[in-house]
Structure 1
Amino acid sequence: MTTAHTTLTDLLTSGAPELADVELFPDGRYQLAGTTARTVDAAVVATLRIGFAGRPADDFPLLTVGWGRCRVGSTAVTNLFGIAGIPAYYQPVKTVARHVLSNGVGSPWHLPEGESALFAKEMAGPYVSYECLFNPVRCLIEAGWPADRLRLLVLDREPEASLDSWMAKWEDRIGRARVLENFALSTANYLAMRRFAASAGVAVTHFPYEASKQPEVTVARLFERLGVGDRYHPGLLTGWGAAGDLNSEHALVRYPVEPEAYVVPGLHGNEQGYRFQQRVTDRLTEQERALAAEPAIRDRYLESVAACCAELGIGAELRSELFGR
């Protein structure tokens, strides 16, 4: 890891306030100028405020923010909420940040009228440091979204499988070394996000990808915990048809317009339902597998597993079937 990434990881893990003012250097493709997290956050908040302006606090819908490291099954989760009839958005906060990083201006998020619940995925990584360490929940609160109308859904995945997927999608875009650095920095953000949610009074639920091995049990409990239990029925889990093509207009995910550099054709899968898919991790070297097994990374995943089991009432037998531990 480079000194710059080690410093960012240490500051993020420790919760040091000076992290907001560390210079984040451009890469010339995904970030066009030097900046700081504080500067980008301020621009994102200003844009979000435009979309939220004039809305009374008691008129904000209940928003579940699905957050975690990229490549943890988040788009399929987003589509699942869309199929349940909950307007489901693809990174409305992070996309504003990507426009800022590209020296542009993002579009405000104008909320649909008459909806009691929304879902938005907002993932950490993969391209530049800001994406790895940013906090979408804090941006939403600072822009006016009431904390008691937010739920943080922490998404996760067995680290070796997640890292292999990062390599498959982004090695050719940012190089192998940066994939490893940004994967580690995004993982460090789990500590920071949990810490912030606790301080802000935002309710937290954990749902690692492996919980989708038995979605007929776990998804029902998930929806109930998130306050949208009335939207769940077993038919949500299968028979997606054309809506299962997560790259297409048929998916029930509301995609924003991203800067051209960030558009990745074929990034998402084609699913016929919500179900776990085993990954063969054949892209990783032994050194990279060792990175995924380091306590600083592995322990974050184990914390997600333990929290999920406690929150969803998953007993020892089911826990063993889902997580093998």
Structure 2
Amino acid sequence: MNIDGISPDSLQRIADLLRQQHGSLNTLPLSPVGEFQTRTVTLETLMREVTECLAQDFRHRPAQDFPMLYFACGKARVGSTALSNLFGMTGMPSYYQPLKAILRDALVGRPLTPWIVPSATDEPHIFSKETIGPYVLAESLFNPLQLLIEAGYPRHRLHLIMLDREPASSLASWLDKLISRAPADTLLRHYVVAALSAAHVASYAERQGVRVTHYVYEVSKEAVSSVRVLFDRLDLSSSFTENAVTSWREPGDVQANNARVIFPSEATIYKVPNLHTSDSAYRYQRRATASLSEAQLEVLERCGVNDAYRASVAACVRDLGLNAAMSARLFGDWFAAAA
């Protein structure tokens, strides 16, 4: 099968394999893609290389030396950067996709540098976010939680925060923000792959005995109350303050005070102008979807992306203990469909 094909039938076959979690996707050769990927390689090989890199640090550490890691994961453009800022504002070290940075080095054959996690003695709690997608199939297929676990991060020191966002809004964001790096048909294909891949991370976590909390972007419409509930669920009630949600700038500051957000070193190709908006608080940002075609919207339904989101909504309502009235306000018809 040509996984790089752009025909509707090809995309449907990929979606079917993803829903089946078919092992053939791990061993399929993935072709080079410009500056993003310069070697033909399988996902299985990339996962092994990144796992071995991480294990250089992890394998020699006792379990009690690992901080509790609140690990947020979802397809790209689901509000994960804003959540990173939020956790950084609490004073917790907040890491910006350190695992995908290693994967991206592996895609071009660069030497890999392990992620050095601080000692629990110095930092008992840390946050990290990873997004799936968007530029090449390898980063749209990879499971970042699997990398951590197979490299030796103790399962009981992990709490997965599973992220999602209304599919049309998220796709519109991909097409608006990332079009300078890839054509629309490629972004649509990778979006479907990333959305379905992300849906499997939570089930993987549950099989591994890792605690999971689903947190869907639309709950940020009522930011203070939803973040308070999230922190309660994470056993971080003592770290919650309303200021961490509503006041990201001191008077007179131009930018948010995100000193504890830690970014990796990445190639220039990944520095996309205006990729992230600057804001003074954690809040919901509405995304217009009128630019999407009927054909693009039909792909989301036909390939199962909308079904995956409905499942995310139901899980978020359950995990955060949202009542019916609040759920209807936040999710509208999606809540009715998920109920």
* TM score, norm. by length of structure 1: 0.94
Matches within 5 A, 1:225-264: 225-241=233-249, 245=255, 250=258, 252-264=260-272
| 3-state SS, counterpart of residue 73 of structure 2 | strand
Work out the CA distance in 1 between the residues paired with 2:175 and 2:41: 27
Aligned amino acid, residue 203 of structure 1: R
| Residues 192, 303 of structure 2: 8 Å contact kept | no
The answer for the alignment partner of 1:9 in structure 2 is 15
Work out the CA distance in 2 between the residues paired with 1:276 and 1:104: 37
| 3-state SS, counterpart of residue 118 of structure 1 | strand
- Between stretches 236-245 and 160-169, larger displacement belongs to 236-245
How big is the shift at 1:244?
8.5
- Between stretches 95-104 and 261-270, larger displacement belongs to 261-270
Name which of 11, 23, 32 aligns with 2:29. 23
Quickly say closer, same or farther: Cα 1:275–1:42, change in 2 above 3 A: same
Matched, 1:210 2:218: yes
Matched, 1:163 2:171: yes
Matched, 1:153 2:170: no
Gaps of 5+ in 2: 1-5
Identity percentage over the alignment?
38
| Residues 122, 136 of structure 1: 8 Å contact kept | yes
The answer for the alignment partner of 1:142 in structure 2 is 150
Work out the CA distance in 1 between the residues paired with 2:260 and 2:313: 28
Work out the CA distance in 2 between the residues paired with 1:131 and 1:65: 17
Name which of 43, 51, 58 aligns with 1:52. 58
C-alpha offsets along residues 174-205 of structure 1, whole Å, 9 cap, x if unaligned? 10110110000011113321221121111111
How big is the shift at 1:23?
1.1
| 3-state SS, counterpart of residue 120 of structure 1 | strand
Name which of 279, 297, 313 aligns with 2:305. 297
Work out the CA distance in 2 between the residues paired with 1:299 and 1:308: 14
| Residues 65, 151 of structure 1: 8 Å contact kept | yes
* TM score, norm. by length of structure 2: 0.90
How big is the shift at 1:72?
0.7
Q: CA RMSD in A?
A: 1.9
Aligned residues: 323
The answer for the alignment partner of 1:84 in structure 2 is 90
Matched, 1:62 2:68: yes
| 3-state SS, counterpart of residue 181 of structure 2 | helix
How big is the shift at 1:302?
1.0
